Chains A and B, each alone.
Chain A
Amino acid sequence: MTQKFRLENGGLINRDKKLSFKFNGKTYFGYEGDTLASALIANGVHLVGRSFKYHRPRGFFGAGVDEPYAIVQLYRNNETEPNIKATEQELFEGLEAKSVNCWPSVNFDIGAINNFLKIFLPAGFYYKTFMWPKSFWYRVYEPFIRKAAGLGVASTKHDKERYEHKYEYCDLLIAGSGPSGLASAYAAAKNGARVILAEDKPRFGGSLLTSDVNIGNQSGEDWANSIISELKEMPNVVVKNRSQVFGYYDHNMLVMSEKVSDHLPKTKKHHPKQRLWYIRAKEVLISSGSIERPLVFGNNDTPGVMLSSAAKEYLKVYGVLVGKNPLVFTNNDSGYETAIEFKKNGINPIILDSRVNPQSEIVNEAINLGIKIKFSYVVVAAQGYKKVSSADIAKISDDKKQLDTIENIKCDCICVSGFWTPTIHLASQSGNKTKFKEEIDAFVPGTSKQNETTLGAANGIFTLEETLKDSFIAGQDLSKKITNNDNKISFPNVVEKKSSQHDKFWCVPLPKGKSYKRFLDFQNDVAVSDIEIALKEGYRSIEHVKRYTTLGMATDQGKTSNLNGLQLVSDIENKVVPAVGHTTFRPPYTPISIGAIVGREVGKHSKPTRKSPMHSWHEKNNAVFVDAGVWLRPRYYKQGSETLFEASKREAKNVRTNVGVCDVTTLGKIDIKGPDAAELLNRVYTNAWLKLPVGKARYGVMLREDGIVMDDGTTTRISENHYHMTTTTAQAANVLSHLEYYLQLVWPELNVNVVSTTEQWAGAAIAGPKSRKLLQKLFPNNDVSNEGLPFMGYMESDLFGVKARIFRISFSGELAYEVNVESDNGHFMWEKIIELGQEFQVQPYGTEALSTLRIEMGHVAGSELDGRTISYDTSLEGLISKKKDFIGKRSLNREAFTSGDRQKIVGVVPLDKKTSIPEGSHLVKDAQAPLPNKKLGHISASCWSVEHDNPFSLAILKDGKNMIGEKLFVMSPLKNKVIPVEIVSSHYVDPKGERVRS
């Protein structure tokens, strides 16, 4: 198929490289340098989608980021992506795209029935229509809306593409490479400032690529190219195309999305698909230009009605005609520029100008070229369903209220220009309170809030000469402040055509007896009548009108609709636009892919992975790992075809009968030094610490100020002023911050230093009745007898030439020791333990067996210390000193903490001694009680007791102290289980704690 709407010559596309692509299953051809939109228009395709609410046919309205309609589903390299603007997507060989928001097809769309049942979807239709009856919401309304609405389908597959984040600092960030961006970047760069110049399109130059101007005896485009090539050579300048600065955040941080690979058939090896730049800039120059404003008339959403600037861009950049019989409808001189471009390419446009008698260089040029112009004329309505086929036009009275006789003229497109709206989104996001500029009927940035300066069209300056002058000066002055250089740049000679005043007219009145829909917001299907209804119903604040009607919402953020919407509200309310005010501009300015936001923090990379020095040994010995905080810990060591249950039972049993060794490197360790170290511990822990002798360890519990248990662990006195604290794996970082808080802010008079040594020491717990014999083998020169190294004792020694610390402490309730060596020697230590332990049947055990051992002993851990329990609840109240004050003590006499039936830890055994109890289940008195069944407590941890060979659980139970011996029910609605149980002591094994002391 030929590209019937492609000009023979012209445009910035590469005609030597023809590309094939598919749209809705049909194959077309375009050229390198096309967008999907320009290539489709070149092939005469104007119907690309259906509108959001009424499912009216949708074509192209813009040529870039301003496009409200042409949103497609893209297929690239076996991946699919929704919400892609055809006007921004660059063409590549093999590109495939499909229409969205239409079912079953773009040409025959069921939802279009909404269009003929207009009453069905007025303003606020979601709020009104789908409210009643309530039961209909899930069954009828929601599925209907989900099927009928939406702008594409997100892929459910794992995204294999790579996205990167980059942090950058610069002196000046310049957003937009039009005339103001180029001039300010050039001046600042010449002054030695570190500059980042960002352009969202593939080509630099902005409006210079399409306007008929001359700078320094070069065409606008040539001047732009020469400036860009010079900037690219400078070491202090970063020039980025396909890069949208979409958000202005606090403290001059901006975020930019760089589309690195989206324009290629597939991402190159070692390249990301997109890159998100976090840029902290000393100064920000906003040169984001302006977007043409639509004119509002009947059926102004018909495919073929588009912005006149877009028509000009398709012509000049892509060599594409949006129509061969164009009508230009304008209230200012910009429409003339488009008409002149048509005329120069052999097309005869007709201009309808709402103005009575405009006089300017451009108007005269159009007249001289023989273009047919009708002054005081307007388009009343576009005709044609899937494409404009004609226009109803009429002469309009000077007060713009009365229409004369309506005539119909044939045309295949209507190019509209309602003057220009500065793109002030970034300035507004920075906190700049915008102001209304009467001369251009639009908002421009007011006083700068952060270090931002808005230039050129974005600042409401529409002449090239003034724009360039301002921008050179801004670039020079701002960079001078930073670099102290003062290189003057000679100002180039500028030739441009002078424009005349635009007409404030923006909305064509409805002719008598007609009820055409006149659209304001093209993306969200908001028409004049919707705003009228909202105001009639009492909505006044523009923010409320926005939400009720959806005006200016969603991905479009009111790019084309904002001002006309405000204009309408102010007309009806008889206010001026600034009194109505505008809605908040929120980042992102354009949609950003979730992948880019997430960056590389996906899956395993979402947090660091810490491995102990013994990790490789565990791997070699079939360890199955589990995440413990950021650590990977062996959960169990699989032998043959063992299950988790079988393996952990074997490992735990071996600890109870022989000896086991567990990697405890992950426990938090904090080194505490200083003359006041004992005093700090005494204030941090609930028990007494001042009298702990050197060479002894003590178990301690620390509270938060609100009395809740924060963490537990042992701390050992290494020497007079030196302590070694251990914390749980999970709380290690919080405990360190906690200590630092009190030392730095609350008690700075304490002379103590704390530092994390978690990763400096490798730890192995050796537990079981034969552990002493094994220890003796490891340290043959030490007396490790019960007298030489008693329970809670500590000694320093030498493990075959390696410095070692030996603690007689126990997690498992068995006779146990913990050996620490410097991390580098961890692997050596572990292998020695395994080697010398062979004769005692040593086996490594993982976290699952460790849990079993501690649960049946009634030792509390993370699942009991859950941020809701106090010492009493976990039977740690014996460690509360009555003699001294400590963190959180004052909270302990709170009413709830001292009530007689306070919750307490208990043991739970199923009556059948067989059924395992799911963790998290509730304990209830009566399994048959009507819902909601009163919960008495919950199961915090479960295991299979290796000592008793039956299931055993710990629970936090109301009035637990008096519940021992009671029969209750465990209910787990999740697992659909009801289990009759008996409440027993939490100390299920060795209740007197004799083994650890043996």
Chain B
Amino acid sequence: MLHIKCPYCGMRSQNEFSYGGDASVKRPELNKEISDEEWDNFVYNRKSLRGKHLELWQHLSGCRQWIKVERDTATHEIFNTFKADEEIS
């Protein structure tokens, strides 16, 4: 069970969180003309990375904030966690 540092609440157990997938996916803007391919990439296509991955988690049984977690998908090592609006260098 992972131990995730919520930027608002501190270290919490994985079972308080729910997983939200790749955090680098950006929803296309509303009312914008985009190609089918672009839309499909947003809705369906995800990379299945081995290694460092920036992903979304929601602190469901805590502060209910969506946060970003930088995690190694192979070792589960968590390098850093960020608030949703935090700049990631």
Contact = CB atoms under 8 A, between A and B. Distances in A.
A683 B30 contact: yes
A251 B2 contact: yes
A249 interface: yes
A249 B1 contact: yes
Contacts of B42: 705
A741 B30 CA distance: 16
Interface in A737-796: 737, 740-741, 744-746, 748
Contacts of A706: 43-44
A577 B43 CA distance: 50
Nearest to B4: A251
A319 to B, nearest CB: 44
Contact of A431 (B3, B13, B39, B75): B75
Nearest to A704: B43
Given A705-B42, A748-B84, A250 B2 contact: yes
Given A250-B2, A431-B75, A890-B28, A737 B65 contact: no
With a 10 A CB-CB cut-off, give which of A250, A683, A886 has the most chain B CB atoms.
A250
Contacts of A746: 27
Contacts of A683: 30
B87 interface: no
Contacts of B75: 431
A683 B30 CA distance: 9
Interface in A870-915: 884-886, 890-891
| Contact residues on A (Cβ < 8 Å of other chain), bracket | 20 to 34
B30 A745 contact: no
A253 B1 contact: yes
A278 interface: yes
A922 interface: no
Contacts of A885: 30-31
Q: For B28, B66, B75, which residue has the most chain A Cβ atoms within 10 angstroms? A: B66
B45 interface: no
B56 interface: yes
Nearest to B3: A251
A705 B43 contact: yes
A878 B87 CA distance: 42
Nearest to B34: A890
User: What interface size band does chain B fall in?
Assistant: 20 to 34
Contacts of B76: 250-251
B3 to A, nearest CB: 4
B43 A891 contact: yes
Contact of A253 (B3, B20, B78): B3
Contacts of B31: 884-885
B80 interface: no
Contacts of B2: 250-251
Contact of A740 (B1, B3, B64): B64
A250 B1 contact: yes
A683 B58 CA distance: 21
B9 interface: no
Interface string B32-57: 00100001001110000000000010
A744 B66 contact: yes
Nearest to B23: A745
A486 B28 CA distance: 58
A869 interface: no
Nearest to B76: A250
Nearest to A756: B64
B73 interface: no
B58 A890 contact: no
Contacts of A225: none
Contact of B66 (A251, A431, A740): A740
A275 interface: no
Contacts of A250: 1-3, 76
A280 interface: yes
A953 B43 CA distance: 34
B25 to A, nearest CB: 10
A769 B9 CA distance: 53
A252 interface: yes
Nearest to A251: B3
A167 B16 CA distance: 14
B54 to A, nearest CB: 13
Interface string B7-31: 0000001000010100000011011
A251 B28 contact: no
Contacts of A167: 13
Contacts of B65: 744
A615 B44 CA distance: 44
A748 B86 CA distance: 12
Contacts of B78: 251
A741 B58 contact: yes
A706 B84 CA distance: 23
A251 B84 contact: no
Contact of B56 (A251, A252, A745, A890): A745
B43 A737 contact: no
A936 B30 CA distance: 36
Nearest to B68: A745
Given A737-B18, A740-B64, A745-B66, A280 B30 contact: no
Contacts of B66: 740-741, 744-745
Contacts of B18: 737
A899 B27 CA distance: 26
Interface string A264-290: 000000000000001010000000000
Contact of A251 (B1, B20, B27, B39): B1
Nearest to B42: A705
A885 B39 CA distance: 14
Contact of B20 (A280, A741, A884): A741
A885 B34 CA distance: 13
A706 B42 CA distance: 10
A891 B30 contact: no
A783 to B, nearest CB: 40
Contacts of B64: 740
A251 B56 CA distance: 19
A431 B76 CA distance: 11
Contacts of B84: 744-745, 748
Contacts of A249: 1
A744 B75 CA distance: 29
B58 to A, nearest CB: 6
A844 B28 CA distance: 48
A890 B84 CA distance: 25
Contacts of A280: 3, 13
Contacts of A740: 58, 64, 66
Contacts of B43: 705-706, 891
B19 to A, nearest CB: 11
Nearest 9 pairs of A and B residues by beta carbon = A251-B3, A885-B30, A250-B76, A885-B31, A744-B66, A744-B84, A890-B39, A746-B27, A705-B43
Given A251-B1, A737-B18, A737-B60, 16 more contacts: A250-B2, A250-B3, A251-B76, A251-B78, A280-B13, A706-B44, A740-B64, A744-B84, A745-B66, A745-B84, A746-B27, A748-B84, A884-B31, A885-B31, A886-B30, A890-B34
29 contacts: A249-B1, A250-B1, A250-B3, A251-B1, A251-B2, A251-B3, A251-B78, A252-B3, A253-B3, A278-B1, A683-B30, A705-B27, A705-B42, A705-B43, A706-B44, A737-B60, A740-B66, A741-B20, A741-B58, A741-B66, A744-B66, A745-B66, A748-B84, A748-B85, A884-B31, A885-B30, A890-B28, A890-B34, A890-B39
Interface of B: 1-3, 13, 18, 20, 27-28, 30-31, 34, 39, 42-44, 56, 58, 60, 64-66, 75-76, 78, 84-85
